Amino acid sequence: MSLPNSIRRSMFETMVRSRFWDDRLTEQYWIDKTPVFAFGAGPLPGELHTSHGQEPVGAGVCAALSDEDMITTGHRPHHIAVARGVDLREMSAELFGKKAGLSGGRGGHMHLYDRRVNFSSSGIIAEGLGPAAGMAFARKMQKKSGVALSFLGDGAVNQGAFHEVMNIVGLHKLPFICVIEDNKWAVTTHKSMSTACERNSDRAENYGMTGEFVEGNDPELIYLATQRALERARSGEGGTILEIETVRLSGHFMGDPAGYITGEKSEYQVDPVPVYRARLIDDGILTEQEASDTERVIGAEVDEAIKFALDADYPDARDALNCTFA
Ligand SMILES: Cc1ncc(C[n+]2csc(CCOP(=O)(O)OP(=O)(O)O)c2C)c(N)n1
Ligand SMILES: [Mg+2]
């Protein structure tokens, strides 16, 4: 099935926006961090898990969603946040610890929260599953529309919370999609060392859910699989475990040289952004000129967001204890 040209172009734009933002963040991250790797130094302190390679997941899933759908995700949230339309300026300011950030600079890059687009993320892996199932439960009981999606990695899926939540989702036929981003690695541990089965989507049947596996890090197949899962959720058929093959092009976080990814490297590390660009040009959806123009315009938008963040004020130290609960 062929997708409308407008959706294909829009997914390309989303992938470019996510990639450029991660590239600019990477440049900023390294300022003042070396020669001895100093996590806390520079304008962008702390850990940074970029989404290089995983852009098709955010672009493909989010292009299929409606405004009322809800997302929770984990420690590698950029590609999903960008695709969902979280404000790029406020999100950048959040990473740089600025007052103009989504949470006043308190959350940082793993804790992005934007109620306007029903998006949240957490650095505690698999943590988003329970809240997402709760949101799905509430919508079902209130007879309101809205599907809850929780994204997690192939490593996080081995958390106990996954099994508890999938059972509840299946039992109550909740409007829920569990998106598993299978990039084959959890920090330095390969999936074959941590996971008893080949496909986590195969587990769905035992929870009373539908399982789908999407191969090839392909935004169009991801979009179509998400549409099917949304239709099932909206029509009362219940939840889906949507497992998506993707790739982590960088180390686990900035500063990880990923020397442990050895033999399979060249086959594994296919960059999906130029692949999709070439495909749209081949299919006559974009000309080379239009692709370059898109990149130029999005590059300027991203630069502007980073500049906004760099120029913004830090919070007042006297406000440090505001918004704390314990
Ligand atoms: C509950 C919990 N345990 C451990 C960690 C440390 N941790 C952060 S990311 C990660 C691995 C995640 O791997 P995966 O789910 O495959 O996501 P990926 O990094 O590949 O995107 C771990 C163990 C954590 N953040 N939360
Ligand atoms: Mg992983």
- Residue from 75, 80, 111 to probe ligand 1 pocket by mutation (most atoms less than 8 Å from CB): 75
Closest C-alpha among 70, 75, 76, 113 to residue 94: 113
Contact partners, residue 143, CB within 8 Å, separation at least 6: none
Average pLDDT over residues 301-318: 97
Tell me the per-residue pLDDT of 133-159, one tens digit each, with 9 for 90 and over. 999 999 999 999 999 999 999 999 999
Contact partners, residue 107, CB within 8 Å, separation at least 6: 94, 101, 113
pLDDT at residue 1, rounded to an integer = 62
**Is the per-residue pLDDT at 287 higher than 70?**
yes
Q: What DSSP state is assigned to residue 220?
A: H
What is the Å distance from ligand 1's center to 163 Cα?
Answer: 17
Q: Which residues is 73 bridged to in the sheet? A: 121
pLDDT at residue 114, rounded to an integer = 98
Q: Are 120 and 72 in contact (CB under 8 A)?
A: yes
> Which ligand is nearest to the Cα of residue 184, counting in written order?
2
For the chain, the average pLDDT equals 96
- Residue from 51, 79, 187 to probe ligand 1 pocket by mutation (most atoms less than 8 Å from CB): 187
Residue nearest to atom 25 of ligand 1 (CA): 124
Percent of the chain with pLDDT over 70: 99
Closest C-alpha among 85, 91, 99 to residue 24: 91
**pLDDT band at residue 325 using 50, 70 and 90 as cut-offs:** confident
Tell me the per-residue pLDDT of 195-240, one tens digit each, with 9 for 90 and over. 999 999 999 999 999 999 999 999 999 999 999 999 999 999 999 9
Identify whether 35 is preceded by a cis peptide bond (ω within 30 of 0). Answer: yes
Tell me the per-residue pLDDT of 72-104, one tens digit each, with 9 for 90 and over. 999 999 999 999 999 999 999 999 999 999 999
What is the Å distance from ligand 2's center to 131 Cα?
Answer: 21
CA distances from 164 to 30, 116, 161, 205, 306 (A): 40, 29, 5, 15, 40
Nearest-5° Cα angle at 109, 107 to 110: 75
CATH number of 5-253+261-311: 3.40.50.970
SS3 percent helix, strand, coil of the chain, rounded to 5, is 45, 10, 45
H or E element in which residue 162 lies:
helix 160-172
Q: Are 273 and 55 in contact (CB under 8 A)?
A: yes
What is the Å distance from ligand 2's center to 187 Cα?
Answer: 7
pLDDT at residue 113, rounded to an integer = 97
Residues flanking ligand 1, CB < 6 Å: 75-76, 123-125, 152-156, 183, 185-187, 248, 252
The reported pTM is: 0.97
Tell me the per-residue pLDDT of 9-25, one tens digit each, with 9 for 90 and over. 999 999 999 999 999 99
